[in-house]
Every structure is written in C-alpha cells, then in structure tokens.
Amino acid sequence: MILTVTANPALDVSYRVDRLRPGHVHRIGAVFERAGGKGFNVSRVLHDQGVPTRALGPVGGILGDSLRADLLDAGLPHDLLPVAAATRMTIAVVADEATTFNEPGGPLSAFDWSRLHDLVRSYLPRTEVLVCSGSLPLDAPDESYADFVALAAEFGVPTVVDVGGAPLRAAAEAGVAIVKPNAEELAAAVDDDDPVAGARQLRALGAEAVVVSLGADGLLAATPDGEWRATLPEPVAGNPTGAGDAAVAALADSLRRGLTWPERLRLAVTWAGAAVAAPLAGTVDHDVLRALYNQVDVTPLQSPL
C-alpha cells in the first residue's frame, strides 16, 4: 500500500469565464469544486490504476468538510485528520489560460503536527512506500517532510517527496529515497539553475535518487544506478496540471514493485503524459496511457556522475 501525505490541502474552486478583465465584475455561470492537494492527486492516479493507496492530510473548518465529502464521493481511501487550522481554498479563473489565487493555508499547531505524525505512524506497518507531496502550511518548519522521511525509515519504508526549496533540501539531507522537484523547485533548493548539477547536488546531500520534471521536455534522473533523460518524441496536448503528480505516482508504484530505473522513468513519463491528456488533475487518459508506453525514449546522460 502506498500512503500519501498532503500537508496543505485545499478546496480547489474553478470558474470558467470568456475573458478575465481586471477591474471588472464577472458573473460566473457554473462553479466547480474539488478536493485539491498534490498527495490526493497521487492517490487518485494510483487508485485509478488499481494500486492500493490511502490519502492522509489535515483538514479543518467548513472547507475541510467539503474536501472530505469530495474524497468520499470519489471513493478514494483516505484518513483525514481534523485540525484547528481552517482548510484553505484555491481559485482558478479559467479562460484561454488559467489565473489562480492560492490562499496560504492556516498554520498547523505543533500539537496537530504531532497528531499527524501519530496518524502516519499508525499506517507505516502496512505501508510499502510513503509519499509526501505539495507545499507546506504557513510557518511550517522546513524539516516537516524530512521528519516523515525519518519516521518512515524507522519502519523500513522508503519515501518519495515532491516539494521545492528548503523543505526539498531538508528531505535530501534526511536520506529520502526519491525526490521529484520541477526545475524551479530544484533551483530554489540548491542555488544552481542547471538541473543536472542541481540533481547531483541533492544526491550529494543525501537523496538516493533525484528525478527532475522538465514539463514537455520529460524527466531527468540522477540515481545510484546511473543518470538518464526520459522523453516523448512529441509533447502531449492538454492540461499539464497534475502531470507531476502522475509521475510521482508512477515512481512510487515502480519503487514498490522493484522496477529498474529505466523502467521507472518510462512509466513516469507515460503516466505524466496520460495525465496531461486527461482534463482533471489526478486523472489519466487510459488510451493515451497504452499508446505512450512504447514511445518513451530513455537515454543515459552523456557525462556520468
């Protein structure tokens, strides 16, 4: 079973408009709401692929109830921890392009952090891979995900972390199995804009493997078994939101199954592409999934570590 932790969930609200006109009143026709959070998306993809998973996260306030109802509706196994801080909202105003407004999320008290630890701990004996994904709540210590990495290690459970900046660096220092930043998140962690150099730096800090998502340019991986680029011959058209979460789901599942690194990367690029082809984050297009697998090119990097 793959356990996911979303530290800073949100109710994702989206409005479709013809055009966003700053300074004007927009009358919205239909309103779409969804339990948002990167770990939830990872669990949605795994659940859709028949992989046992459970999604954990802290929720509070009235939006927390709404989020819980959405996960119940989706039939996604979850265990949400009621906390004092009110769950935040994100607003996406969608015209030709999306304009988003992300609330910060209330700070989690030290007491609630320790309760979240207890909840994660209670599942670790049954867990094959732990995934910690998405931003941290306001004022959370940079070590918040690193602490989960250490906790999982006590149970012999490897952890995959998807976060940026200082929390990414802390996870590497805690000996995380895999981190999956995008180029920007990686650069914020290592102060080096070159993703290959950045990935190697995170490995030197203690991360076993670093997989960098490069959008339409695929994935770059620095691992104990070698370094690779995994790409598609041409980009998939669609909505890139959630593609990284699908890649994390594939990495966690292939870690669980003991696949080789080239196989893991092939799967990660396939799932990410199939997520781009599906309209909603946390879903994949099954036809595209089948079509892409054999198209992925996995090539060793020229300059070895």
Residues making contact with a second copy (CB under 8 A): 13, 15, 17, 20-29, 31, 62-63, 65-66, 88-89, 91, 93, 95, 97-104
Least separation in angstroms between CB 27 and a second copy = 5
8 Å CB contact between 42 and 131: yes
What is the distance between the alpha carbons of residues 267 and 253, in angstroms, rounded to a whole number?
A: 9
Kindly tell me which of 11 and 131 has the beta carbon lying closer to a second copy. 11
Kindly tell me which of 22 and 50 has the beta carbon lying closer to a second copy. 22
Q: Which residues are catalytic?
A: 245
Least separation in angstroms between CB 97 and a second copy = 4
What is the distance between the alpha carbons of residues 33 and 263, in angstroms, rounded to a whole number?
A: 36
Least separation in angstroms between CB 286 and a second copy = 30
Least separation in angstroms between CB 152 and a second copy = 29
Kindly tell me which of 23 and 224 has the beta carbon lying closer to a second copy. 23
8 Å CB contact between 271 and 257: no
4: helix, coil or strand? strand
Kindly tell me which of 99 and 114 has the beta carbon lying closer to a second copy. 99
The Cα angle at residue 305 between residues 231 and 269, in degrees rounded to 5? 20
What is the distance between the alpha carbons of residues 85 and 107, in angstroms, rounded to a whole number?
A: 6
8 Å CB contact between 29 and 18: no
